[in-house]
Structure 1
């Protein structure tokens, strides 16, 4: 079916009307790009997707994601435990992926923030309302694994001292408060299409809805943990295909890239749905 049709998802039907209203606005500068990834984390280097649900490092220990949060306000507003956040596994593969994206777009090293520069502060301070393509390659933490008001979010390099601007964890509510003008947001992380953690919430009620509310037009996200090698190939190839064939839509470029991954017999296990099926395109799909 994926070969016959270009498949997209929407958080809600109302979001389609919102997206099409946004398309009437002046979009960001074509080819402008901002990529953030490979945050400085103290755990053993590992590939995305290798971390078991509830595990935060590559040591073989099972570390509950709930341990990343300490009750700093009598149960009203959980705060990130920086030491536990720093203990998460490093993700060197994300640096290679972002550098390949920048090369494919011709934007160079100036368009990516890695390591010590991959901070929540730098992300919020970037000119995101002038950026056409935003890529975030890091750990994605799902909602529902922690108690209380915790939200899904993305991991950045933890600060030495926590502030209201930066605690190393970009939550869905923080994303929703941003001002974006992006044609394309690529979330190359695990579980980024998960729900917001509330009872009965839909799968796209978390990060996906937050990015649309902030002004993104199309989102590439994942329904479960992604493989490091496949994520890099799929995201970069989608960009390359649309650059090579400007007449096709993002949905068509994604369809072709997914087909190439699935049909690559030289790569062990790439044909299996666990490799390529977690990825989903969210948005209008007509651009």
Structure 2
């Protein structure tokens, strides 16, 4: 196994030496500005505490692994691919962000049923002008750091991408076109006469819906679960992540970090690539 260490800052030499000694690594390679590979590393419990103390992300990766081993990367949108929870920012246009954000947080921690929580939140948006959606997209939505680097490498290696979200098609469709994603699936807000009705059209894309779409695309391309990566941050991503052999918790809730193959708590989305053997 190789140990991958990543940071957003310069890692002191004494910390690198400490990690090499802890894991009995045979060689240390710098593979990025703040990214290191410790070859033939032995897993040690102390690595976790050292990394937490110094704000380092880490993961043990099969030395034989490469990006070409993967065929599909599935990712959540809100607070994963992008920096915001879109529904919270839409609610801000109604002066209701605190109320909606509280429901969102509880749902992401797994304390509320996602479908019920979404129905409650969307109902609060009734009467809002649809132009608010464009304002959120233009003024507040930003890609998370490293997103474009990650997507460019995935595309270069012929890996399919699926954006699947409990959010809304207004945003996922625009991101799919803008970023050249292969697939996107999410919920559709009902809009009549230029106003949000407070309802979602059709079946809500919840945790099971995300998992179903992952499997639908995987089967379409005749891929094995071992060839699939799922990236998410909230409790409604857990079923989707369980369907992929490799799951990555990105700046995620504790319940998600605990169940994922890897957790990225500090670095950007480009930190996904070294965990996939790149």
Which bin holds the TM-score, normalised by the shorter protein?
Answer: 0.3 to 0.5
Specify the structure having the higher radius of gyration (Cα): 2
TM-score (normalised: structure 1): 0.35
Kindly indicate which of the two structures has a greater share of residues assigned to helix.
Answer: 2
